Structure 1
């Protein structure tokens, strides 16, 4: 699996509109994804992003995630947030286009790893083949047309389809069990 695949997977966190929406997904088993990080701006708590813990002191997320960020680790249900950790943000935009972005967040306090907070395994960089099977994980909306966010971590398995069949830019076409879907990045 290449680093490109991880970045693509990360961008899948941005599902229907900006946010971390998981449509037609199921609730994750609590703390089964210890690398997932809940990110929000304390000044705008109704908006949130997801990310991956890639080191004890770094989180990988999308650059359009907001400003004054705090990260919360070991979160399954956002109603019960632990104490947040302040970060320094290092955003990167490709072509200055939303959806073509990535951001590293350096934690001001490195975390102690345990069974509910752990690092995601990065892929070997020498493999360039991208699997068509992926998982989208997040705390966002469960339906594109509803504004309310899920308070629990949700996930859905998807199969990526040939991108030549996608009709709009910045779209990954997928097939899910319930039928075709589009993931906008």
Structure 2
């Protein structure tokens, strides 16, 4: 009986932890920030070369389990993007839209750090399996990989907005 009670308490703690993360994100991230980042990223993508190949997507495997991503996963995705995409693409860029996007990006990243549960920085199983592959892909010097990643960043922003409120659909975000 004690074991059943202990397991029930553990399950309750796990569920409430996810709810606390959702509340924290919802409280600290303003939806206009996400919308603004989506719009700015689309402006930044316009001058980039197009890649219409539907396969070889960078975030492809994560798209299958985006509903299971937690704050630690999203924070790690942002770190990977910052290190391997944005800093490489815009190292010496001084355009207003790029600066605006990076300022918003840094605010978003700071909120993720605030909302990440202290002492429990565990990646989900899905993220643990796929983030290393994504990072390795972004580290390659394959032509167009950073552009492709930039085009896919919109999905990350949608995932973050969904993590703010799991009952929201992505159509409301746009």
Q: Place the TM-score, normalised by the shorter chain, in its bin.
A: under 0.3
Q: Give 1 or 2: higher helix fraction.
A: 2
TM-score after normalising by structure 1 = 0.23
Taking structure 2 as the reference length, the TM-score comes to 0.24
Hey, which of these two has a bigger chunk of strand by percent?
A: 1
Q: Larger Rg: 1 or 2?
A: 2
Q: Does 1 or 2 have the higher relative contact order (CA < 8 Å, sep 6+)?
A: 2
